[in-house]
């Protein structure tokens, strides 16, 4: 399963073989439960009304040209530093058999998704 999400908070629990592209400026993603083979990556979708929709949803975003604000640069890579609660209340990124509950998507596998302006385009 592949998910692309922008949210103030993201919780990912008990999923298997999934890819999550996320933009969570307020807080790193939370990974919990029996999660296995999760791949985390930066948000990869764009469309004309995205800034407007993020603002209406209360998700902090600054799409201005030039130098980005400090908070933006500090939080744009939150996907790289998830908070993990492994099965059995163990705060680690591996399960009991040594399998990683999550990894970061390698750069060479990243693809940008461009959405149409409308369904008729």
> Are 27 and 9 contacting, i.e. CB atoms less than 8 angstroms apart?
yes
In this prediction the pTM is: 0.78
User: Distance between CA 56 and CA 53 in Å, rounded?
Assistant: 5
pLDDT attached to residue 89? 42
Residue with tokens 């975003």: 61
With a CB cutoff of 8 Å and minimum separation 6, the contacts of 85 are 30, 31, 32, 33, 91
Ordered alpha helix ranges (H), the chain? 50-56, 70-75
User: Distance between CA 21 and CA 49 in Å, rounded?
Assistant: 19
Q: Kindly report, residue by residue over 65-117, the tens digit of the pLDDT.
A: 566 677 777 788 999 999 998 664 444 445 444 556 889 999 888 877 766 66
């Amino acid at each position: 399963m592949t998910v692309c999400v922008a949210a103030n908070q993201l919780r990912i629990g008990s999923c298997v073989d999934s890819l999550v592209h996320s933009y969570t400026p307020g807080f790193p993603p939370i990974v919990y439960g029996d999660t296995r083979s999760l791949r985390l990556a930066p948000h990869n979708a764009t469309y004309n009304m995205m800034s407007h929709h993020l603002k209406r949803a209360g998700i902090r975003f600054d799409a201005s040209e030039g130098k980005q604000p400090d908070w933006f640069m500090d939080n744009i890579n939150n996907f790289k530093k998830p908070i993990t609660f492994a099965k059995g209340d163990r705060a680690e990124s591996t399960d009991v058999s040594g399998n990683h509950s999550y990894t970061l998507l390698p750069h060479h596998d990243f693809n940008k998704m461009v959405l149409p302006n409308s369904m008729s385009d």
